[in-house]
């Protein structure tokens, strides 16, 4: 297994502050998707980042390879909804986990 950083790039820098009701609904389904992946052990950490240049999302995932990490990104309902979101997937050659997370990963 390997680790990957996924960056969810929004369709515009002002998102989510000017999100339509349809976009917010899609984001709820998106959150449910990632919550499920976290519960299944694929996603280690997921959440929004409010950076100076605009908001984006991040996920740190464990996957067999880059193609498997990309498949997690491609299956995200917000990608499939067609609102213009996209993921950037980058390998993480090493990762330091806090003890409780490391113990959980070793138990799998």
Kindly list the domain boundaries of the chain, sorted by start residue: 2-107
Return the pLDDT at 107: 67
pTM of the predicted protein model = 0.89
- Rounded distance, CA 39 to CA 25, Å? 21
In the structure encoding, which two tokens stand for residue 17, read together?
């502050």
Provide CATH code, domain 2-107.
3.30.70.1060
Q: What is the pLDDT along the chain (108 residues), one digit of tens a residue?
A: 999 999 999 999 999 999 999 999 999 999 999 999 999 999 999 999 999 989 999 999 999 999 999 999 999 999 999 999 999 999 999 999 888 765 666 666
Contacts of 88 (CB under 8 A, 6+ apart): 6, 7, 9
Task: Encode 54-92: b = buried (16+ Cβ within 10 Å), e = exposed.
Answer: ebbbebebbbeeeeebeebbeebebbebebebebebeee
């Amino acid at each position: 297994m390997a680790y990957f950083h996924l960056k969810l790039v929004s369709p515009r820098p002002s998102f989510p502050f000017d999100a339509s009701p349809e976009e917010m609904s899609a984001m709820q389904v998106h959150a449910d998707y990632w919550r499920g992946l976290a519960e299944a052990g694929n996603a280690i950490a997921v959440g929004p980042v409010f950076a100076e240049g605009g908001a984006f999302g991040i996920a740190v995932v464990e996957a067999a390879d880059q193609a498997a990490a990309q498949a997690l990104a491609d299956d995200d309902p917000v990608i499939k909804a067609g609102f213009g979101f996209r993921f950037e997937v980058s390998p993480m050659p090493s990762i330091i986990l806090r003890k409780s997370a490391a113990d959980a990963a070793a138990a799998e």
